[in-house]
Amino acid sequence: MRDLILVLDFGGQYNQLIVRRVRDLGVYAEILPYDAPLDIIKSKSPKGIVLTGGPRVVTEPDAPAVSPDLLSMGIPILGICYGCQLISHMLGGSVVASSSREYGKAPLFVKTDNPLFHSVPEQTTCWMSHTYYVQDPPPNFHIIASTPTCPAASITDGQNFYGVQFHPEVVHTPDGNVIIKNFLHICGVAFDWKVDDFVGDTIKKIRERIGDKRVLMALSGGVDSSVAALMIHKAVGKQLTCVFVDNGLLRLGEADEVENFYRSAYDMNIVRVNASDRFLAKLAGVTEPEQKRKIIGEEFIRVFEEESDKIGETHFLAQGTIYPDIIESGGKHAAVIKSHHNVGGLPKNIAFKEIIEPLRELFKDEVRRAGMSMGMPEHMVYRQPFPGPGLAVRCLGEVTSEKLDILRRADAIFREEIATAGLDRDIWQYFAILPNLRSVGVMGDERTYFHTVALRAVTSLDAMTADWADIPFPVLKKVSNRIVNEAPQVNRVVYDITSKPPATIEWE
């Protein structure tokens, strides 16, 4: 059994980062909600536990807490921010409000040669983001690092408990990785977790689990479903059937590209469904963005159900769900900004007996590494994310085939020029939008009343926040020239210079 570090989530904004840091150091880590049942936690036999930060106050009557039994498991526990305050509060220390919120970089003075700070300079920098702090550590604890405004910036009982008020997981704490690595050494874990091993192990496990049964999967051509499909294909070959739905909302040439690639490179069992007409018929006259998304999601499920009926009974449904999907869908208080739809969303009326999600433990860049380690070509592994509802959310107002044709041409030109300029790996997403806006122009002495095309290109790490990309003017100039000359019915090109927030990446 591989060594595991369990991260118990109290709702802080950096919690996924903690898991990332631990995995990048070669140790497998997982997140569970803070109130996960103790028997589940114990059944995973973690070598160490991290209690994360969170927005609440430990002294409130109904504040989130862990079971006292968790604190007596006898394994190392690191509390970060709220987690540090919680350890302190539960073990008899005091937590109080500071006079003002402390946010940003602070000098950190390391006081002793405790193993948590092994190889960390006596004076370093840390990232603080808190209003409350530990005033008096619990009995038998001592302070091992301080900042000018937070004397108990790090505490320990010298046995199993460690607490830091600052955030070692963010890059603004330059020695944060060393501190996390030190904690992993304290836990006595083996540093031997690698994505490549994960791929081999998973393929083996999938093969054992599937046996001689059949698997059905929706393939979108996106990275997640592609890597998942390839893993399953490597495990059971033609027992896997992939359904690829061309909904008429894909980019220029995309449907043929995806189909040909999987047929020729991997000889996969692929059923391509040309459903463009039925999607466009359902979308006729619809302009409300959420309604468009819902119609596409539902129609996709209908098509998928029909195909699965034709294929006959399949035991397994496979999905390309990745770890952030699982963490995010566990969020209890998140507001619905857009009803996201992933091709491969679970149809309710199909009687599958079991679900296979080979990537449910991986982050996006780990999925990409898994793809590369199976020999997938870079152009498939590093495709930019593309939303499930496709061009419909970039074709504002009613979706018609005429408007889609214009959008496809403009989008293809933009993508081509970004690739030619060598910017495709630096920009998270880059695409065209047809804002349903006509304006007056002049072409060859004639008045025109044509479409405006908007270009959107953003840099991002995880799509949760994004910044507009600083594309060199000569590249924008070339794109704009080509679009007005080559795309039909376009006389104006604009560039979207808004970050997320307040905008979102897609326009609908």
Catalytic residues: 81, 167, 169
- The per-residue DSSP string of 286-302 comes to ---HHHHHHHHHHHHHH
Q: Is the peptide bond before 472 cis (omega within 30 degrees of 0)?
A: no
Least distance (Å) between residue 465 CB and ligand XMP: 9
For strand 28-33 and strand 161-164, is the pairing parallel, antiparallel, or unpaired? unpaired
Q: Is 321 in the site for ligand XMP (CB under 6 A)?
A: no
Residue 178 or 283 having the CB closest to ligand XMP:
283
Residue 120 or 322 having the CB closest to ligand XMP:
322
Q: Binding residue for ligand XMP (CB under 6 A) from 105, 194, 338, 478?
A: 338
Residue 134 or 469 having the CB closest to ligand XMP:
469
Q: Binding residue for ligand XMP (CB under 6 A) from 340, 360, 438, 478?
A: 340
Query: Which span sits near ligand XMP by CB under 6 A: 194-202, 380-388, 411-419, 442-450?
Result: 380-388
**Phi and psi of 357, rounded to 5°?**
-130, 85
Site for ligand XMP in 402-431 (CB under 6 A): 429
Residue 302 or 500 having the CB closest to ligand XMP:
500
Least distance (Å) between residue 459 CB and ligand XMP: 12
Contact 131, 101 (CB under 8 A): yes
Q: Binding residue for ligand XMP (CB under 6 A) from 213, 360, 438, 500?
A: 500
Residue 30 or 426 having the CB closest to ligand XMP:
426
Q: Binding residue for ligand XMP (CB under 6 A) from 114, 342, 480, 491?
A: 342
- Cα gap 341→338, rounded to integer Å: 9
Q: Compute, in degrees rounded to 10, the torsion defined by CA atoms 334, 340, 345, 346.
A: 40
Query: Which span sits near ligand XMP by CB under 6 A: 183-191, 211-219, 306-314, 387-395?
Result: 387-395
- Cα gap 196→228, rounded to integer Å: 14
Contact 16, 327 (CB under 8 A): yes
Least distance (Å) between residue 428 CB and ligand XMP: 7
Q: Binding residue for ligand XMP (CB under 6 A) from 90, 421, 463, 475?
A: 463
Total of chain residues touching ligand XMP, rule CB under 6 A? 15
445: left (phi over 0), alpha (psi -120 to 50) or beta: left
Comparing CA positions, the residue from 54, 58, 62 lying closest to residue 33 is 54
Contact 374, 199 (CB under 8 A): yes
Residue 43: count of CB within 10 angstroms of its CB: 9
Least distance (Å) between residue 55 CB and ligand XMP: 22
Residue 153 or 393 having the CB closest to ligand XMP:
393
- Cα gap 72→90, rounded to integer Å: 12
Least distance (Å) between residue 500 CB and ligand XMP: 5
Least distance (Å) between residue 504 CB and ligand XMP: 3
Site for ligand XMP in 19-48 (CB under 6 A): none
Record the tokens describing residue 356, joined without a space.
Answer: 């296979």
How many separate helices (H) and strands (E) can be counted in the chain? 15, 19
Record the tokens describing residue 72, joined without a space.
Answer: 């007596």
Site for ligand XMP in 426-455 (CB under 6 A): 429
Q: Is 299 in the site for ligand XMP (CB under 6 A)?
A: no
Comparing CA positions, the residue from 397, 432, 405 lying closest to residue 418 is 432
Query: Which span sits near ligand XMP by CB under 6 A: 147-155, 257-265, 386-394, 490-498?
Result: 386-394
Contact 145, 60 (CB under 8 A): no
Residue 411 or 506 having the CB closest to ligand XMP:
506
- Cα gap 416→125, rounded to integer Å: 43
Residue 278 or 338 having the CB closest to ligand XMP:
338
Contact 140, 88 (CB under 8 A): no
3-state secondary structure 78-97: EEECHHHHHHHHHCCCEEEE
Query: Which span sits near ligand XMP by CB under 6 A: 145-153, 199-207, 311-319, 381-389?
Result: 381-389
Contact 219, 226 (CB under 8 A): yes
Q: Binding residue for ligand XMP (CB under 6 A) from 83, 221, 320, 389?
A: 389
Record the tokens describing residue 444, joined without a space.
Answer: 């060859």
Q: Is the peptide bond before 502 cis (omega within 30 degrees of 0)?
A: yes
Record the tokens describing residue 92, joined without a space.
Answer: 């008899």
Query: Which span sits near ligand XMP by CB under 6 A: 86-94, 117-125, 155-163, 334-342?
Result: 334-342
Q: Binding residue for ligand XMP (CB under 6 A) from 174, 385, 435, 441?
A: 385
Q: Is 388 in the site for ligand XMP (CB under 6 A)?
A: yes
Residue 404 or 505 having the CB closest to ligand XMP:
505
Least distance (Å) between residue 385 CB and ligand XMP: 4
Q: Is 505 in the site for ligand XMP (CB under 6 A)?
A: yes
Per-residue CA distances from 470 to 420, 438, 459, 463, 473 (Å): 16, 27, 9, 17, 9
- Which positions touch ligand XMP (CB under 6 A)? 337-338, 340-342, 385, 387-389, 429, 463, 500, 504-506
